[in-house]
A and B are shown apart, each in its own frame.
Chain A
Amino acid sequence: MDTTPTVHRHKFETVVVGAGGAGLYAAMAAAEGGRSVAVLSKLYPTRSHTGAAQGGIGAALANVEEDRWEWHMFDTVKGGDYLVDQDSAEILAREAVETVYELEHFGLPFSRLPDGKIAQRKFGGHTYNFGEGPVHRSCYAADRTGHMILQTLFQQCMKRQVTFFNEFKVLDLIVSHDGRCTGVVALEIASGDFHVFHAKAVFFGTGGFGKMFRITSNAHTLTGDGNAVAYRRGVPMQDMEFYQFHPTGIYTLGILLSEGARAEGGILRNESGERFMERYAPTLLDLAPRDIVSRSMFQELKEGRGCGPKRDYLLLDLTHLPPEVLDERLPDITDFARTYLRVEPKSEPVPIQPTAHYAMGGIPTDNDGRVWKDGHSVIFDGFYAAGECACVSVHGANRLGTNSLVDILVFGRRAGKHMARYVAEADWPELPRGAEDQAVSLVDGILSRQSGERPVDIRETLQDEMNDKCFVVRNEPGLKEMDAKVAQLRSAFANVFIQDRGRLFNTDLVECLELGFMLDCAQTTVVAALARQESRGGHYREDFKERDDTRFLAHSLAFPGESSDSVRIDYKPVRITRFAPKERKY
């Protein structure tokens, strides 16, 4: 059999990688005025993980009660434990409103109020008048908000005849001789062929990397590919130590039960039936931000008040809610409990535990999605990112519920608009010779190995150890062990061996490449977590329990180090405009 890979070449002004909410919105905006746009996804567009988002999208529409974008901005800043860049949070809160209206005009089927307006419900950490009490801010479509967003954006892309390259997996970023980003190299999964996409602008909306943990709400495909591809080209990763653990993952499976369940009145209980959040967040109770609830749960479990023979889970109690609330507003998540746990949520509480959910950190960008080449001052011309793979930063140390959908849409849209302007003016950077070489040798290296380590052993060790040592609560000895473990797994990966040696739809190869990307994400996460000797938002160090603004009111930047296996950490200041940091209480 001929083993020489076939290489195809394409030219589009803009190439969008990732077809979730950020990518599809960016593609639509970039295509305005007839500019040529290609969307590459390693899945089909409607299968991106945006579709799994349940609860809603926060926007101060004030459809139920008084609300203001300033309050949304404040909640975002406070929720993020003041590590949020406040100019970005202001854009998020202001533009959320027009973005939600635009989605509605695109046909998004929001749930409605009796007066015909978009329905809104309460959500964790969202308050009126700067923290006084919960506010109805989350616009929702039952508990399928993300699904509706993804479908709506895909429908609009079909209508506009956007060019999709489905099941194309991006392996490398192309950088021109003058340092501009000028395309990507992708593997066409179905054929095993390589494709070089020459572009003026490249956008990454490639999502998160929760699969580096064992218990996670994330899809199997959330492996940080975009982050690792950028990192391998020298782009630092910002705030990687801030990973969000969501309080209500289905026991042992990690499948998410939306915060919408608590927003509708669901209560967290321990083994004796106690509503334990009364002790930890007396004002917001079960609707305190996720880092606080997850940590409170960890404490309950640690002090022996968990349920079951291993005392390793807690309960989400929905039994007191009117059955029609479950049927109308929470149909999917009640179905998950029935399907996977055989629990009837109308009559029994649902076993839950914290689950790895969302990366607050990622590729550093400005407010138009332009990537910072050095993390803070030099723009990487032609390279854009938004959504979970990026860090703009609007989530800081902890993201509020609903703000992920706001982030991907507001900043995906802004990046798309900026790209439309940029490609109209920019000339074509020259495609460097041998643009595909690195990607081809990455794949050939794996395919040509005759024996070695099994990917499954490396992956499962990584997931188990990350769950043990880099989860809700961290400490120095654990993180140091994890750092050594990641190094060990990386050297094992250098010798990884797969069974499928074919070119055709080789998912053995795809999963193996993803494992390599995940190891990069895990490494930067662990090193950044070790360096941050304080507790803030989702990053809780039991050996440094207090927030330390003197040393750490700063974003971390993890750069690829001198040797191929080291990470260098640097910091940059947080942009503070309206709200001075103060102690965070709920």
Chain B
Amino acid sequence: MRVTLRVRRYNPEVARDPWWQDFDLESDPRARVLDLLHQAKWYHDGTLTLRRSCAHAVCGSDTMMINGHNRLACKVLVEDVAPVIVCEPIRGLPVIKDLIVDMEPFFRSLESVKSWLINEEPPPNSERLQSPEERERFDEGTKCILCAACTTSCPIFWANDEYVGPAAIVNAHRFTFDSRDRGAAERLEVLADRTGVFKCRTTFNCTSVCPRDIPVTELIQEMKRAITFGKI
């Protein structure tokens, strides 16, 4: 099928302001938008710049706005967004070039909420035991691929880049509700701060764009409840 791929371009080495570029391409309807971007880059304009790696929605590299929604370019089929496919960088992080944004602030927020297992008790000689129910309790958060689709779709994050954002909260949730973890108190203290969970206004943008179907808003609400009532 014939499609128009419209890309928001930006390259400070070439021009101060962004511009739009259209590529008229022939595509297999079942191709991924990523395939289309590659076609444009490899055959028409090598300066077109994007991130990508695994090409099947597990690495989280190619998050971008496609027709106004944060998506992974490797998880959207052309036929579902054709005939005019508009690709833009995700919002709220500085754009470096074309579809590439600076991810460092995103990863720093992850670090700020201590999204790792905290347990200083000496481990046994085998595994720590955990029942399937205890394991199920934090399952949703473990699916996160750190693609930043949620955080960069959040209007609160756009307005206030101090807000740690949904992805960091999801990852904090993942450990807070892990029966092996002992760090809930220090993590919740960070998240109770003015940059933390109470900034969330439950607009559900994060939940609707998550490529892993994580109920992000729900997990954020659970963290709010944990802080308010002090119960894990």
| A residues with CB within 8 A of B | 1, 43-44, 46-49, 51-52, 61, 100-101, 104-107, 109-118, 141, 144, 147-148, 151-152, 155-156, 158-159, 166, 190, 219-221, 253, 255, 332, 336, 339-340, 342, 454-456, 498-500, 502-508
Contact = CB atoms under 8 A, between A and B. Distances in A.
B127 A109 contact: no
B17 interface: no
A71 to B, nearest CB: 19
Q: DSSP majority for the B interface?
A: loop
A507 B47 CA distance: 8
Interface in B91-107: 96-97, 100, 103-104, 107
Contacts of A456: 42-43
A109 to B, nearest CB: 5
A161 to B, nearest CB: 9
Interface stretch (B175-183, B202-210, B223-231): B175-183
Contact of B59 (A1, A51, A499, A504): A51
Contacts, number: 154
Interface residues on B, range: 35 or more
Contact of A502 (B11, B53, B123): B11
Interface string B125-159: 11111111011001100111110000000000000
Contact of B56 (A61, A144, A166, A255): A255
A503 B96 CA distance: 12
Interface stretch (B1-9, B19-27, B111-119, B188-196): B111-119
B55 A148 contact: no
Contact of B61 (A47, A332, A342): A47
A353 B22 CA distance: 36
A533 to B, nearest CB: 36
B132 A49 contact: no
Contacts of A148: 142
Contacts of A112: 130-132, 134-135
Contacts of B110: 158
B96 A106 contact: no
B60 interface: yes
Nearest to B143: A144
A49 B181 contact: no
A44 B107 contact: yes
A505 B107 CA distance: 19
Nearest to B58: A52
Nearest to A147: B58
A159 B183 CA distance: 12
A113 B135 CA distance: 10
A437 to B, nearest CB: 25
16 contacts: A46-B145, A51-B58, A51-B145, A61-B126, A104-B127, A105-B128, A106-B117, A107-B117, A116-B131, A141-B142, A147-B58, A339-B77, A340-B77, A500-B46, A506-B49, A507-B51
B73 to A, nearest CB: 12
Interface in B38-66: 41-43, 45-47, 49-61
Nearest to B138: A109
Given A340-B56, A502-B11, A504-B13, A109 B61 contact: no
B111 A158 contact: yes
Nearest to B106: A44
B59 A339 contact: no
B69 interface: no
A206 to B, nearest CB: 14
Given A118-B127, A219-B53, 15 more contacts: A48-B59, A49-B54, A61-B126, A109-B138, A112-B135, A155-B117, A219-B54, A220-B53, A339-B57, A340-B32, A499-B45, A504-B11, A506-B49, A507-B41, A508-B47
A79 B143 CA distance: 32
Contacts of B60: 46-47
A500 B98 CA distance: 13
Contact of B116 (A49, A158, A454, A500): A158
Contacts of A455: 42
B50 A507 contact: yes
Chain A to chain B: the 9 pairs with minimum beta-carbon distance, closest first: A107-B117, A499-B46, A116-B129, A155-B116, A456-B42, A508-B46, A47-B59, A105-B123, A500-B47
B12 interface: yes
A52 B59 contact: yes
B47 A502 contact: yes
Contacts of A147: 58, 145
B75 interface: yes
Contacts of A156: 116
A118 B132 CA distance: 10
Nearest to A159: B116
A95 B178 CA distance: 26
A190 to B, nearest CB: 6
Contacts of B77: 339-340
A117 B132 CA distance: 9
A504 B15 CA distance: 13
Contacts of A117: 126-127, 129
Nearest to B44: A499
Nearest to B125: A101
Contacts of A500: 46-47, 49
A200 B52 CA distance: 33
B46 A107 contact: no
B191 to A, nearest CB: 17
A326 B119 CA distance: 33
Contact of A107 (B32, B41, B104, B180): B180
A221 B130 CA distance: 37
Nearest to B52: A220
B46 A498 contact: yes
A44 to B, nearest CB: 6
Given A105-B123, A219-B54, A43 B61 contact: yes
A148 B135 CA distance: 13
Contacts of B42: 454-456
A544 B34 CA distance: 41
Contacts of B130: 112, 116
B222 to A, nearest CB: 17
A151 B117 CA distance: 11
Given A52-B59, A219-B54, A220-B52, A503 B13 contact: yes
A208 B31 CA distance: 25
A109 B174 CA distance: 10
A51 B13 contact: no
A158 B115 contact: yes
A126 B228 CA distance: 50
A505 B100 contact: yes
B178 A504 contact: no
B13 A109 contact: no
Nearest to B46: A499
Contacts of A152: 117
A100 B126 CA distance: 9
A48 B146 CA distance: 12
A273 to B, nearest CB: 25
A155 B127 CA distance: 19
Contacts of B100: 505
A116 B133 CA distance: 9
A48 B45 CA distance: 27
Given A105-B128, A117-B127, A52 B54 contact: yes
